[in-house]
Amino acid sequence: MGRLVALTLLGASLAFIGARLLDLRERINTFREVEPVEPQNCHLIEGIENGSEDIDILPSGLAFISSGLKYPGLPNFAPDEPGKIFLMDLNEQNPRAQVLKISGGFDKELFNPHGISIFIDKDHTVYLYVVNHPHMKSTVEIFKFEEQERSLIHLKTIKHELLVSVNDIVVLGPEQFYATRDHYFTNFFLIFLEIILDLHWSYVLFYSPKEVKVVAEGFASANGITVSSDQKYVYLADVAAKSIHIMEKHDNWDLTQLKVIQLGTFADNLTVDPATGDILAGCHPNAMKLFFYNPEDPPGSEVLRIQHVLSEKPRVSTLYANNGSVLQGSTVASVYQGKILMGTVFHKALYCEL
Ligand SMILES: [Ca+2]
Ligand SMILES: [Ca+2]
């Protein structure tokens, strides 16, 4: 009798896992291919070969690019090279990427940069906040940008027990930021379970030296985060749910959800077009190709523009789409005066004129 019960339980478990795996195959867009869309005058950025996961641009047109991310389960073509921050001046005729020197008491060998966010203080000092994964842990590094010297001075490392599996941040005040936790678990096997069971245990955290709290939760995998130009709304990409959440920001930093925009593609990082207020989303069209990398059939890239974000009917259009022949695994797109810069998890970076 005991054996019969055990066999029945085993059979039921296998059937359940099988059904979840079949469901997962659909959820990760296993069979999706993209139709190409390419703006004019595009070229790959020389010198960026190992990722450009996140990009943030100063109002003056200087772009910061985080490069060299090592993330469990995703490819990296230079596993022994530390990560870097590149700078590009988008006012130049042919903008080139240069590596920013880093000084201060900071272990550059362990630099594993992920999401980034610029903060400009009242005295116009520019700070770059960078999500870092030394030894696959999560910290937030604060750097001061020295424009003349083209360098970053490391000022501080922020750690907190709730700053776990951090993907992206958006800084809104001195040491005040929202951060996304993309998975609840940190163990690779448990992350896999979290994905196949479609657990919604990921959240958005508010951090300040005085208070740290979860301000929005229930996401499958909270990834890119940014704010509207007037700083009244927070935009969040739930990458695994293929959606963008529009949330209202309150004086006490709490967030309440206003609406969810379904995309049908895996939105990674989000930026706002300063000229229009539109959201730009760097997306993964097919997550299967991203996680099971095959150079013969690589993951593609897709950049969406979402207009009229706060209206009844936001309009979603495709700015860029490629099957991986040019750009693989796009994560972000950022615009400046008719130019667009697109980044990737582990591949190159593309610059186009719109
Ligand atoms: Ca970011
Ligand atoms: Ca991201």
DSSP string for residues in 71-102: -TTS--S-TTSPPEEEEEETTSSS--EEEPEE
CB of 63 closer than 8 Å to CB of 334: yes
pLDDT over 90 (residue 23): no
Give the closest ligand to the alpha carbon of residue 239.
2
Set 43, 114, 135, 347: catalytic member: 114
- Confidence grade of residue 1 (pLDDT, cut at 50, 70, 90): low
Helices (H), 212-295: 287-291
Give the closest ligand to the alpha carbon of residue 57.
1
The Cα–Cα gap between 287 and 156 comes to: 35
Give the closest ligand to the alpha carbon of residue 225.
1
- Catalytic residue check, 114: yes
State pLDDT tens for residues 272-319.
999 999 999 999 999 999 999 999 999 999 999 999 999 999 999 999
pLDDT of residue 22: 81
- pTM more than 0.85: yes
Of 135-139, 188-192, 221-225, the least confident? 188-192
pLDDT of residue 24: 82
Report CA(114)–ligand 2 centroid distance (Å): 7
* 269 in a known ligand binding site: yes
Task: Give CA torsion, residues 89, 92, 95, 100, to 10 deg.
Answer: -30
CB of 55 closer than 8 Å to CB of 270: no
pLDDT of residue 27: 82
- Confidence grade of residue 98 (pLDDT, cut at 50, 70, 90): very high
pLDDT of residue 170: 98
* 198 in a known ligand binding site: no
Say which CATH architecture domain 32-353 belongs to: 6 Propeller (2.120)
Report CA(42)–ligand 2 centroid distance (Å): 23
Mean pLDDT, rounded, of the chain: 95
How far is the CA of 260 from the CAs of 36, 207, 219, 237, in angstroms? 27, 24, 12, 10
Encoded tokens for 76: 């990296």
Bridging pattern class, strands 97-99 and 84-89: antiparallel
* 167 in a known ligand binding site: yes
Q: Which one, of 354, 353, 352, 351, lies nearest residue 97 by Cα? A: 351
Give the closest ligand to the alpha carbon of residue 52.
2
* 120 in a known ligand binding site: no
- Confidence grade of residue 6 (pLDDT, cut at 50, 70, 90): confident
| Segments making up each domain of the chain, as ranges | 32-353
* 251 in a known ligand binding site: no
pLDDT of residue 90: 97
State pLDDT tens for residues 113-128.
999 999 999 999 999 9
- Confidence grade of residue 17 (pLDDT, cut at 50, 70, 90): confident
* 238 in a known ligand binding site: no
pLDDT of residue 244: 98
Report CA(20)–ligand 1 centroid distance (Å): 32
Bridging pattern class, strands 202-207 and 176-181: antiparallel
Report CA(116)–ligand 2 centroid distance (Å): 9
CB of 168 closer than 8 Å to CB of 224: yes
Report CA(55)–ligand 1 centroid distance (Å): 7
List Cβ<8 Å contacts ≥24 apart for 108-111.
108/82, 109/82, 110/82, 110/134, 110/135, 111/68, 111/82, 111/83, 111/84
Report CA(270)–ligand 2 centroid distance (Å): 8
Of 54-58, 137-141, 191-195, 246-250, the least confident? 191-195
